[in-house]
């Protein structure tokens, strides 16, 4: 039997990168990172590694189709062995959302971890950011969240979080993949007293809940708050947090049954919360996704408060209070140009990264920024957390709202969002379509015509054969005109898949 050869990341390398890599980032604007200590880097990998199983948000797929119990068991076996040391028994914390398959994957992971000698602490149903928080506060070697976020119930995922609270380094994910595919030999089973134990760790979830309550600067007495909990992870704590802070809470979609997570509810179906706020006369409403790492809100008039609104409102408050490091907010290229115009008026600088919370996080840590996020509602407040946290985001919105003392609808009206049209065009070959000279010519024509009054963004989907065409302009008609201009060029050259 060939024993697996596993590479552990050396401490000396981490210390070197902690000093050197931020300099490289600021000079070259690199997108990918080498592994480094807590204060520097969320992920590893000087070069992007092409993965078979792991994507930007863990190992995700349909349960027992592309993600099976055998996969989960092997992930557990590897992690238990990887984090165990001669005089140190690995400690791993596990959480899950409310999907039916979560029990199955939880059991498989626990079996694999304990068979490799690790002790496992089960949070049961909890939020992804709670796992990240507890890893850092309780000195766990790593954590695992079993969730597919906003995907339907029949999908699931294994998200591994390192000892710093960030997503696992790609170099380690690559080794896991090689072990799953039998390319690394066998990992020995531990014997006798070295077999790991499993502990109920519901008290960890309670500690995290009390941490969030403690962040509120004042109570919410007299405020009526509507919550859409997506029949997901937020169901176990969001209502209690707001009620303990004195709010009158109206809740929907807090009865998970294993198959109703994200089903016509939560942040991906914000119209449900809009209807709830309108019908009940609530002052404000918050909607979360399946694992509660993102949040969207609805104001007192029923209008959606997306990630751009949240970054504007909190960025403004933080700047006034001297809490906005370097007076900068980190966004992605998908943020609305209206946000940047508003930031210009406030004297707030901004960074633009590629789409994806990992790129936002990398930029924030490399430059020590305070706030960053995506317009989808995945917002990172680094003074309180190292990852996106939906419930934390709603508490930060409450802080800003109560500080300014105006109806939320008046606060959000300060930000003028430009009309935006996004069309997904299914193509035969993304690279060929994106590189076509006639398509590029049409792109230049649209950009010149829009000038400073709008913008055009063309990008390839990372997971599907799609070219995404997005135009922002002063009117809906202009958006439609220039989107059609690009789509027509793609069609004329035969790139569109009919």
User: Which whole-number Å values give the CA distances from 395 to 87, 242, 248, in the listed order?
Assistant: 42, 9, 15
* Residue 186 φ/ψ, nearest 5 degrees: -100, 145
Tokens of 275: 């209807």
How many helices, marked H, and strands, marked E, lie in the chain?
Answer: 16, 19
Tokens of 76: 């557990």
DSSP 117-148: T-EEEEEEE--HHHHHHHHHHHT-SEEEEE--
Token pair 């066998």 in the structure block, residue = 186
Closest CA to 442 of 492, 498, 478: 492
Tokens of 488: 């027509």
Tokens of 318: 């933080």
Contact between 485 and 440 under an 8 Å Cβ cutoff? The reply is no
How far is residue 244's CA from residue 407's CA, in Å, rounded to a whole number? Answer: 23
Closest CA to 46 of 30, 67, 62, 65: 30
Whether 50 is catalytic = no
* Residue 461 φ/ψ, nearest 5 degrees: -70, 140
Instruction: Indicate which residue of 149, 233, 335, 394 is catalytic.
Output: 149
SS3 316: helix
How far is residue 443's CA from residue 118's CA, in Å, rounded to a whole number? Answer: 54
- Distance from chain centroid for Cα 362: 13
| Residues with catalytic roles | 149
């Amino acid at each position: 039997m060939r024993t697996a050869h596993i590479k552990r990341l050396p401490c000396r390398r981490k210390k070197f990168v902690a000093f050197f890599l931020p300099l490289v980032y600021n000079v070259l604007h690199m997108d990918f990172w080498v592994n480094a200590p807590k204060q520097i880097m969320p992920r590893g990998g000087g070069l992007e590694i092409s993965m078979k199983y792991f994507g930007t948000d863990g190992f995700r797929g349909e349960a027992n189709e592309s993600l099976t119990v055998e996969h989960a068991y092997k992930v557990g076996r590897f992690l238990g062995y990887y984090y165990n040391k001669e005089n140190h028994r690995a400690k791993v914390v596990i959480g899950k959302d409310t999907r039916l398959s979560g029990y199955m994957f939880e059991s498989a992971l626990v079996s694999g971890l304990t068979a490799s000698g690790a002790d496992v602490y089960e949070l049961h149903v909890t939020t992804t950011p709670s796992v990240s928080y507890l890893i850092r506060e309780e000195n766990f070697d790593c954590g695992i969240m079993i969730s597919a976020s906003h995907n339907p119930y029949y999908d699931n995922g294994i998200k591994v979080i390192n000892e710093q609270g960030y997503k696992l380094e790609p170099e380690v994910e690559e080794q896991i993949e090689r072990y799953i595919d039998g390319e690394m030999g066998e990992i020995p089973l531990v014997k006798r007293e070295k077999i790991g134990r499993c502990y109920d760790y519901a008290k960890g979830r309670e500690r995290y809940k009390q941490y969030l309550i403690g962040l509120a600067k004042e109570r919410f007495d007299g405020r009526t708050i509507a919550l859409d909990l997506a029949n997901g992870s937020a169901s176990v704590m969001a209502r209690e947090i707001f009620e303990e802070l004195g709010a009158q809470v109206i809740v929907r979609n807090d009865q998970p049954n294993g198959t109703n997570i994200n089903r016509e509810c939560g942040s991906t179906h914000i119209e449900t919360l809009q209807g709830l706020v309108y019908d009940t006369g609530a002052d404000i409403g918050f909607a979360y996704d399946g694992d509660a790492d993102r949040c969207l809100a609805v104001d007192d008039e029923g209008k959606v408060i997306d990630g751009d609104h949240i970054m504007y409102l909190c960025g403004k408050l933080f700047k006034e209070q001297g809490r906005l490091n370097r007076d900068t907010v980190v966004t992605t290229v998908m943020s609305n140009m209206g946000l940047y115009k508003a930031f210009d008026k406030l004297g707030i600088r901004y960074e633009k990264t590629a789409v994806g919370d990992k790129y936002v996080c990398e930029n924030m840590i490399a430059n020590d920024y305070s706030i960053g996020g995506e317009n989808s509602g995945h917002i990172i407040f680094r003074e309180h957390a190292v990852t996106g946290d939906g419930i934390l985001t709603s508490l930060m919105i409450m802080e800003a709202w109560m500080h300014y003392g105006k109806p939320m609808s008046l606060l959000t009206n300060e930000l003028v969002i430009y009309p935006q049209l996004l069309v997904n065009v299914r193509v035969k070959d993304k690279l060929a379509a994106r590189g076509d000279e006639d398509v590029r010519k049409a792109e230049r024509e649209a950009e010149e015509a829009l000038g400073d009054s709008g913008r055009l963004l063309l990008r390839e989907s990372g997971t599907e054969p799609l070219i995404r065409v997005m135009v922002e302009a002063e009117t809906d008609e202009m958006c439609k005109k220039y989107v059609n201009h690009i789509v027509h060029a793609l069609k004329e050259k035969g790139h569109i898949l009919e």
